[in-house]
Structure 1
Amino acid sequence: MSSRVSDGPPLIDRVRLRSNQWRKLRSIVLNLATTDSLYGKKIREWELKVSRLNRIEDFIAQVPFTTKADIQADRAANPPFGTNLTRAIHQYTRFCQTSGTSTGEPMAWVDTPESWEAMLKCWQRVFEAAGLVKGRDRIFFAFSFGPFLGFWTAYEAAAKDFLVIPAGGLSSQARLEAMARYGATVLCCTPTYALRLGELIGESSGVERMSLRINKIIVAGEAGGSVPEVRKRLEQLWDARVFDHHGMTEVGPVSYEAEDMPSCLIVIEEAYLAEIVDPKTGVEVPDGECGELILTTLDRTACPLLRYRTGDWVKKKMHRGRLVLDGGILSRLDDMVVVRGVNVYPSAIEAVVREFPEVIEFMVEQRKVDAMDEIELLVEMDGNVAKPLLKRIETKLRDTFSLRIPVRLAEPDSLPRHEFKAKRWRIVAAA
């Protein structure tokens, strides 16, 4: 499905934007400095002269990064919510927690009504940028609705302007039937699950494409939403336009994709001070270079984060006064593996795999061989597949990475199916 490309979002006054960011940020730092919160203590430890902070550049130069380990240590010492709270606990009305995919230990987060509302406004930007029309579009949420923040903020923001259809607890078959029955026009889920649902359309489900009115898919939770091969496959399956989005439970909804800028994420800078830095030096990278995304919350002030290291690897692009993540979230820094001197990211592997529509599901196995990391790709295919196809995948991997990555055929239905964040990379103990 083709996408119209133009100049993208309207030009904005960046000087005015930075002035508004600084006004919010200065108020947050001044408030934190008078508290016994996590940051109140850190400000005193840093011997930070708050009164001498006169601009954003001063803040960046004098305030150290916050890491996930910092937050976890504060939670361990002050369970269960830690001390990075700016209100009395009885004023907090919302609870969510991280998925724990990177650490194995989910972290709980609480919000006041005001901070929650600030995040809903960010999600409304996502829907607006996707061109959704009030009174016309019906949004289908194919989520299980656990304690993950993204589910609830997206749903509640949508409910302000659109008919929303929750589908937690339904099977994939039942979800497709419900989409057709209730005339859903927009699907919200992870890229992985959108692929899974799309592959069921037709004979396997009894729900034909012509009975579905889905014309837009908003995806999040994985890097695949901005991977061209994944988008192409989704748009072929659904005959719908894909819109990517990204956020984190720790900070909230961060970016959106505009109709005229496919595979690019525009940071909501009114709500976040964003930096893209070299992870080794901590210095801002130039336009067109890759680095780690650093975020400071400006509107979610009930549980603030200052210069938070997200671990997201992105490519910086300044466009019409806005900060754009070119290609979306390219990878997680901690997901990268070095194989014989070559940096390999999961999203890059998926980009190759999705060029072969015969692949239903896949898994990468990583193991140590003679003290070096090696990887092997397992693929589950649709129907009877000849060995030449496996060789074609191996050849494509070798051409892409300049590495020999073995490809092995998995037994039918042996690889896990995912409705939320897919886990397609596993460590295998050495024999």
Structure 2
Amino acid sequence: MTVHQVYETEVGLRQYQFQRLNELLVFISNFNEFYKEKLDGVHLPIKDFEDLSRLPFTTKKELAQDQIDYAPLGRNHSYPQDSYIRYHQTSGTTGRPLKVLDTQVSWDWWANCWKEVLKSSGVTKADSCYLAFSFGPFIGFWAAHEGIRKLGALAIPGGSMSSEERLKSMIGNNATVLLCTPSYALHLAEVAEKLGLDIKNSAIRTIITAGEPGGSVPSTRAQIENFWGAKLFDHIGMTEMGAYGYSCQEQKGIHVNESEFIMEVINPETLQHVKPGEQGELVLTNLGRFGYPMIRYRTGDAVIYQTEQCACGNHYQFLPGGIVGRTDDMVVIRGVNIYPSSIEAIVREFSAIKEFRIIYYIEQEMHQIKLQIEGPQEIVPSLSNLLRERIGLRIEVEHVEENTLPRFEMKAKRVLDLRNDNPERCLVEK
């Protein structure tokens, strides 16, 4: 048990959270130019969620604009630049990439957050963890590498390798844990099948995914577990926020690490907190990243707010089903609200489908949707019927030849938006 966990047990989680929040607010009100302006006129201390709701939200749009106005890094870095030791930038899938720096203290905080992800997944110092990830400026699994080091397990990097080389490396080194995106776990399984590699009986017993909602989609998770003969655990984090969520042995959703983050779920229209059982937008505040703080950050992630605890016994806030989708990914087609993750959940029930793509387009002045799949032609009628039954909408299913659709190592780009006569406009699953 960490010092923080002992502390929160003694004083109560909420008291512990708001004490840390007030310490952070006092600091950034004096030393962070971005928040010094935003928090002008705010009265401290913040004692409860009602007080918290009076603080302004932070959005990615305003952070991006701040980095334009105060190029290149913006004003949300609390220390002089020579105090920072890590550079990251967001993937840029939902707009202008953000540049984010971390001090050594903040990087250690990142590592401790990831250590909790690993522990919840059952990883111990006896494990060998394979990172199937090309290391670049996107945070990806950089922090996972640090968490593995903190835990005392062995980290095996798989950067600058082909999928074939990675498979042979993880099998040859008896890796027990695989870390990658859900899409890449499926792609590796596809490559292994072509190469005749037996991954189901390899030493891999645990898979930890990140970067996409697929790890919390039951059908996607089941398909990956079946291919690999391993148990899959999901993780959620953001470059600008930190590693804030992880799944547990129950595999029914995501726990928010409330010792390091304060969570709210708001109605994006009214900006008021939703009621239990309702869907809303996840809002987070990180508590231990003084070098790059985030106060009431609107993540854009759609989740279901629930007050009941998970059956695993973890008392931290539980989000059933994890991330439902992105608020900016939802589209309305013929009066029906559609999230890409909802379609993926249905597609992944067909293990013979190798890859898919969702296309939005306009025909006769009406918004339409089409699904392309790689897989046996005979699947098309069954998939079409299931989509109509579950989504409540007739969706055209188009069979395409094998290896027609792209494969992904990082965040999968499976949604192509051809509306508004702009074929280059893509909505990307986060």
Question: In the TM superposition, what is the alpha-carbon distance from 1:56 to its structure 2 partner?
Answer: 2.8
Residue among 321, 342, 353 paired with 1:327: 321
- Whether 2:153 is the aligned partner of 1:162: answer yes
Tell me what 1:8 maps to: none
CA distance in 1, matches of 2:32, 2:233: 42
Question: In the TM superposition, what is the alpha-carbon distance from 1:121 to its structure 2 partner?
Answer: 0.2
CA distance in 1, matches of 2:184, 2:169: 16
Gaps of 5+ in 1: 1-11
Cα distance 1:127–1:205, how it changes in 2: closer, same or farther (>3 A)? same
Q: Flag the structure with more relative contact order, 1 or 2, with Cα contacts below 8 A and sequence separation at least 6.
A: 1
Question: In the TM superposition, what is the alpha-carbon distance from 1:36 to its structure 2 partner?
Answer: 5.7
Q: Which moved more, 1:176-185 or 1:371-380?
A: 371-380
- Whether 2:37 is the aligned partner of 1:41: answer yes
Tell me what 2:304 maps to: 315
Tell me what 1:171 maps to: 162
- Whether 2:174 is the aligned partner of 1:183: answer yes
Superposed CA offset, 1:286-314 (max 9, x none): 22221111011100111111100000001
CA distance in 2, matches of 1:322, 1:301: 23
CA distance in 1, matches of 2:61, 2:404: 35
Q: How does 1:121-200 map to 2 (within 5 A)?
A: 121-134=112-125, 136-160=126-150, 161-200=152-191
Superposed CA offset, 1:322-343 (max 9, x none): 2111101110100111011111
Paired letter, 1:28: L
**Percentage identity across aligned positions?**
39
Q: Which moved more, 1:24-33 or 1:329-338?
A: 24-33
Tell me what 1:63 maps to: 55
Paired letter, 2:169: A
Tell me what 1:72 maps to: 64
Contact 1:215/1:241 (<8 A) preserved: yes
Superposed CA offset, 1:334-381 (max 9, x none): 011101111100001111111112211111110123443211001112
Superposed CA offset, 1:38-68 (max 9, x none): 1101222xx2233xx3403354232111111
Moved over 3 A (4+): 12-15
Question: In the TM superposition, what is the alpha-carbon distance from 1:424 to its structure 2 partner?
Answer: 0.4
Contact 1:14/1:322 (<8 A) preserved: no
- Whether 2:365 is the aligned partner of 1:375: answer no
Residue among 286, 290, 301 paired with 2:279: 290
Q: How does 1:28-427 map to 2 (within 5 A)?
A: 28-35=24-31, 37-44=33-40, 47-50=41-44, 53-103=45-95, 105-134=96-125, 136-160=126-150, 161-202=152-193, 204-209=194-199, 212-259=202-249, 261-318=250-307, 319=309, 321-381=315-375, 385-386=376-377, 388-427=378-417
CA distance in 2, matches of 1:211, 1:241: 13
CA distance in 1, matches of 2:9, 2:366: 50
Superposed CA offset, 1:251-275 (max 9, x none): 110111111x213111001111111
Paired letter, 1:155: H
Cα distance 1:294–1:254, how it changes in 2: closer, same or farther (>3 A)? same
CA distance in 2, matches of 1:172, 1:32: 44
- Whether 2:15 is the aligned partner of 1:19: answer yes
Superposed CA offset, 1:394-426 (max 9, x none): 111100111110011113221111111100000
Contact 1:180/1:211 (<8 A) preserved: no
CA distance in 2, matches of 1:210, 1:430: 45
Contact 1:296/1:305 (<8 A) preserved: yes
Paired letter, 1:399: E
Structure 2 counterpart SS, 1:168: coil
CA distance in 1, matches of 2:213, 2:10: 28
Number of residue pairs the alignment of both structures matches: 408
CA distance in 1, matches of 2:241, 2:98: 12
Structure 1 counterpart SS, 2:140: helix
Contact 2:31/2:79 (<8 A) preserved: no
Contact 2:38/2:56 (<8 A) preserved: no
Contact 2:256/2:318 (<8 A) preserved: yes
Gaps of 5+ in 2: 1-7, 422-430
Q: Output the TM-score relative to the length of structure 2.
A: 0.91
Q: Output the TM-score relative to the length of structure 1.
A: 0.91
CA distance in 1, matches of 2:256, 2:188: 29
Cα distance 1:149–1:278, how it changes in 2: closer, same or farther (>3 A)? same
Tell me what 2:428 maps to: none
Structure 2 counterpart SS, 1:209: coil
CA distance in 2, matches of 1:389, 1:59: 54
CA distance in 2, matches of 1:26, 1:277: 22
CA distance in 2, matches of 1:15, 1:207: 53
Tell me what 2:425 maps to: none
CA distance in 2, matches of 1:407, 1:307: 41
Question: In the TM superposition, what is the alpha-carbon distance from 1:429 to its structure 2 partner?
Answer: 4.8
